[in-house]
Structure 1
Amino acid sequence: MKSLFKEFYFDNKNTDIWMNSVIVLDTNILLNLYRYSKETSEKLLALLEKSKGRLWLPHQIALEFHLNRTNVILDQQTSYEKIESILRKKSSEIESSLKKELGSYRKKHVTLSIDSIIDQIKSSIDGLISEISQEKEDHPVLLKNDHIKQKITELFANKVGSPYKKEKLKEIEKEADKRYALEIPPGYRDASKKGAKFHNGEIILEKYGDYILWQQIIDFANKKQTDVIFITDDEKKDWWYESKGKTIGPRSELLNEFNYKTGMEFYMFKPEVFMKEAGDVYRESFSANTISEVKEVSKENGDYGSYRSHGEVIIPKMNTKEPYLSTMKHLNQFYFGDNLKVFEYIILLQHNWPFTDQLSKHIEDLIENIPFKEAFSIYKISSNKISSRSDNYDDYNFETKLVIKVYLDDTKGEYFKLKVVESFESELYNCKVTIIE
């Protein structure tokens, strides 16, 4: 009986699997290295270094990592500004509230200095703001000098799978559609996901990402005849079996399909299990605080979607209701050989008027009129921040940061950047434009 239904006798307690299986890290595990504290990232990278001989990366995961890396770095950098802003606001609110509520006690308690109490509280918050501001200054500029990316590149040198060709992708898409309709895992929870990637001349729709990844893992295990351990923060029900709110283990369908097609075993764990179990095997220990941090980051970022915005999406730009058709229209008009690539620009606007939804629409129209582009999107990192004005631009009261992502022939990037500055400064009243990255 056990031999016929092996997936229902799943054994995840065997420590030998960490020495005998290939370890595959999901995209969210690689991206979380940017979200963890410096100490936790270094500890996890050290564990990966010790288990280096057992690592392998499907092409789909490597692609998603590179496409999402910049967004995650920017999320981390801009979080400092958000925290500072919240603390400043709360500091003013607390000061105002205390002055109002404690004001009547000024004369009743001659031995207590109410103003001193308020000043001490305010000083404590100001001290926290200063510490955060210093941490922001000390935060590594990973867009320019990314030691995490460098380490990941070293760990997976010659250990990344090949991409599927167009014919294979079409077969997978058809099979995925059938499975999604019947809710056969994995990937069906992404059936409504919009958007697409473009790589090596191939269009890869976002909704098929998990199923492509699954097929690449199966193909690798079949070819190498190896068991696979998949480490993921994904918590969707098309990967995990849940009962009464508790995660029991991998979906039995996944275990069955993997074994049926490869003759090998598939294991799936959360990162904290990997750190504990593999850590014991490779003599790399993790503190309770570190494990707690990993769980917290997992909870917040477990299903980090591809092309997630740096902040609030203010101008989603698609030319039709069907993303696939929009992308095809763009490719027909602007694809020249193998030169197409995605350009992403971080833009600082200094202005003396509030940034509004009406202005967002105006910016969309400006980009529409710049040549050599079709598909683009704009994300807002921050808006209407009090400007750190220089002596030369005393009229600029606000700062707004935007990210523009656009598909272009790789010879047109500099031209597009110049046209953005020219168009914005000529059409947006009293505005200075700076391309940061």
Structure 2
Amino acid sequence: MINESNISIYSLSSEREIQMWKECIFVFDTCALLDFYSFSTKSQQNIFDTIFEKIEERLWIPGHVEYEFLKNREKSMVKPFSEKYGLLQKEILKPISKNIKELKAEVGQLSTRTKKQNSHPYIDVHLTEELEGLVNDFNNQYIVLNKKIDDEIIIREEEINSKIDNDNVLTGFKKFFKVGKEYNFKTIMEIIKEGELRYKNKIPPGYGDLNCAKPKDGIQIYGDLIVWKQIIEFAKEIKKPIIFISNDVTKGDWCYIDDRNRILSPKEDLIREIKDESNVDFWMYTLEQFMYKSPKLLGSKIDVSVIEEAEHITQSKIEDEEEIRVFEKGDIVWVDFPGTRPAVIVQNDLSSTKVMIAPMSSKNEKLNYKFRTQVELSACDYGLTNNCIIKLEKHMVLDKKNLKQYVTHLTDNDMIKIDKALKIALEAEYSFVME
């Protein structure tokens, strides 16, 4: 007889969520820890005081997370200066200075070309002199203000660099987090062998690192799997539910997400594996979701402004990833045309501002085999909420600015199917036009 309770571990009711938060160990990944450096010092302390103090005995990180965090800590600390202030100078302040110089030169040209009274064009010299005076005054004031801005940026840089030796975040983590042991090289090599088979078949976690925007190599490719193995081993020892706090969600190899990068649920394979191996329940949240739910589920008194800051950090990361990524043929992306929905890039000329996409159905509908222009995708293969249909007969050309967020990349086999279906769709259009 069919028993619905057999799949209850794959969903999270309110009652089950409350119970998990009461009993669980909160495990943080590297990305969530490093994102603490994006918060203001005041917000960092507020998180420590209002949340971490309440769950001090229930915070844990795997040994490999400790390694990755310490390895990337200083880079994350100086990131606000190198990326944010550097771009501010390059993209805004320098162009302003250049524009002011050009304005001075153009006003000078105006004065030169209009000063002769006996020929056209002629403008009263007093007017052009007044204009030149205004521009010169503005330029002199800007030079003074620009120097103050440069001095302010230097102060920010010194503040950031001083935190490397006086790191409040590291001090807080040392106080609150217990740390698991790291694996030796032999054990890691065994995990890599398993990882090769898992990644080939898109068994989570970590396979998204094979096609990520910033390529990884060596052991680093299997970092997520190493972390996962350490979580499973730890769960066997403590026999308590695991809630995993991760901001590494856009690769599609840990969880399902919505269009705002919020976790909907972990991948089913992960829930099943840790249940079978350790007999514990497992769920996931982003750092932002964790803080948002903490007042209700932990009784924390975190400031609303800190949660708002977390939302801003998440949005900034999404925008940064969009700037870094060069979308390719075969990418599944969130597209705005209008309304946000998933689509597949089916043609992409890198030298063009346009791209051809095919929309994906957002409903769990069945493939209509009468339509040879449609291709079905399995949800479990690509980190999607439901099985989806790619409708090549509805392909369209959009501006690349409408491509909003990368989800994952299709396999070569599925791309062969899509190319065939697109060819049929284009031939049908051509036949219709000729008729």
1:55 alignment partner in structure 2:
59
Asked whether the 8 Å contact 2:39–2:309 carries over to 1, the reply is no
Structure 2: unaligned runs, 5 residues or longer: 112-125, 323-435
Asked whether the 8 Å contact 1:234–1:302 carries over to 2, the reply is no
Superposition deviation, residue 100 in structure 1: 3.9
1:96 alignment partner in structure 2:
101
1:227 alignment partner in structure 2:
241
Superposition deviation, residue 76 in structure 1: 4.0
Q: Say if 2:32 is the partner of 1:29.
A: yes
Cα separation, 2, equivalents of 1:223 and 1:43: 32
Q: Deviations over 1:249-280 (max 9, x none)?
A: 32222222222322221111111111111244
Cα separation, 2, equivalents of 1:249 and 1:12: 14
Which of 288, 294, 299 is residue 313 of structure 2 equivalent to?
294
RMSD between aligned residues: 3.2
- C-alpha change, 1:43 and 1:294, in structure 2 (3 Å) is farther
Superposition deviation, residue 206 in structure 1: 1.2
Superposition deviation, residue 188 in structure 1: 1.2
Cα separation, 2, equivalents of 1:244 and 1:30: 23
Superposition deviation, residue 93 in structure 1: 0.8
2:362 alignment partner in structure 1:
none
Asked whether the 8 Å contact 2:26–2:60 carries over to 1, the reply is yes
Partner of 2:164: helix, strand, or coil?
A: coil
Partner of 2:194: helix, strand, or coil?
A: helix
Asked whether the 8 Å contact 1:51–1:282 carries over to 2, the reply is no
Q: Deviations over 1:268-323 (max 9, x none)?
A: 111111111124422222315423333245436889xxxxxxxxxxxxxxxxxxxx
Asked whether the 8 Å contact 1:185–1:238 carries over to 2, the reply is yes
Partner of 2:244: helix, strand, or coil?
A: strand
Cα separation, 2, equivalents of 1:140 and 1:65: 18
1:267 alignment partner in structure 2:
283
Q: Percent identity?
A: 26
Partner of 1:107: helix, strand, or coil?
A: helix
Which of 165, 169, 190 is residue 144 of structure 1 equivalent to?
165
Superposition deviation, residue 9 in structure 1: 2.6
Partner of 2:162: helix, strand, or coil?
A: coil
Describe how 1:188-203 pairs up with structure 2 within 5 A: 188-191=207-210, 194-196=216-218
2:271 alignment partner in structure 1:
255
The one-letter amino acid of 1:144's match is D
Which of 289, 293, 299 is residue 277 of structure 1 equivalent to?
293
Q: Say if 2:13 is the partner of 1:11.
A: yes
Asked whether the 8 Å contact 2:31–2:248 carries over to 1, the reply is yes
2:229 alignment partner in structure 1:
215
Asked whether the 8 Å contact 1:34–1:148 carries over to 2, the reply is yes
1:376 alignment partner in structure 2:
none
- C-alpha change, 1:242 and 1:145, in structure 2 (3 Å) is closer
Partner of 1:143: helix, strand, or coil?
A: helix
TM-score (structure 1 length as normaliser)? 0.59
The one-letter amino acid of 1:22's match is I
The worse-fitting range, judged by mean Cα deviation, of 241-250 and 85-94 is 241-250
- C-alpha change, 1:301 and 1:6, in structure 2 (3 Å) is farther
1:107 alignment partner in structure 2:
127
Q: How many correspondences in the alignment?
A: 293
TM-score (structure 2 length as normaliser)? 0.59
- C-alpha change, 1:16 and 1:249, in structure 2 (3 Å) is same
Cα separation, 2, equivalents of 1:270 and 1:164: 26
1:239 alignment partner in structure 2:
254
Which of 10, 23, 37 is residue 20 of structure 1 equivalent to?
23
Superposition deviation, residue 243 in structure 1: 7.0
Asked whether the 8 Å contact 2:9–2:281 carries over to 1, the reply is no
Question: Which is helix-richer, 1 or 2?
Answer: 2
- C-alpha change, 1:297 and 1:218, in structure 2 (3 Å) is farther
Largest Rg, 1 or 2: 2
Asked whether the 8 Å contact 1:279–1:286 carries over to 2, the reply is no
The one-letter amino acid of 1:284's match is I
Cα separation, 2, equivalents of 1:283 and 1:21: 20
Asked whether the 8 Å contact 1:91–1:122 carries over to 2, the reply is no
Which of 145, 150, 156 is residue 135 of structure 1 equivalent to?
156
- C-alpha change, 1:211 and 1:63, in structure 2 (3 Å) is same
Asked whether the 8 Å contact 1:60–1:209 carries over to 2, the reply is yes
- C-alpha change, 1:101 and 1:10, in structure 2 (3 Å) is farther
Asked whether the 8 Å contact 2:205–2:228 carries over to 1, the reply is yes
Partner of 1:238: helix, strand, or coil?
A: coil
Superposition deviation, residue 25 in structure 1: 1.0
2:378 alignment partner in structure 1:
none
Partner of 2:61: helix, strand, or coil?
A: coil
Cα separation, 2, equivalents of 1:219 and 1:237: 23
2:187 alignment partner in structure 1:
168
Cα separation, 2, equivalents of 1:3 and 1:208: 34
Cα separation, 2, equivalents of 1:6 and 1:261: 17
Cα separation, 2, equivalents of 1:171 and 1:10: 33
Asked whether the 8 Å contact 1:61–1:213 carries over to 2, the reply is yes
Cα separation, 2, equivalents of 1:169 and 1:132: 43
- C-alpha change, 1:242 and 1:37, in structure 2 (3 Å) is closer
Cα separation, 1, equivalents of 2:175 and 2:259: 42
The one-letter amino acid of 2:127's match is K
Cα separation, 2, equivalents of 1:154 and 1:266: 25
Superposition deviation, residue 137 in structure 1: 3.1
Which of 44, 49, 71 is residue 47 of structure 2 equivalent to?
44
The one-letter amino acid of 1:9's match is S
Asked whether the 8 Å contact 2:27–2:242 carries over to 1, the reply is yes
Superposition deviation, residue 211 in structure 1: 0.7
Partner of 1:114: helix, strand, or coil?
A: helix
- C-alpha change, 1:165 and 1:2, in structure 2 (3 Å) is farther
Cα separation, 1, equivalents of 2:183 and 2:80: 33
Partner of 1:24: helix, strand, or coil?
A: strand
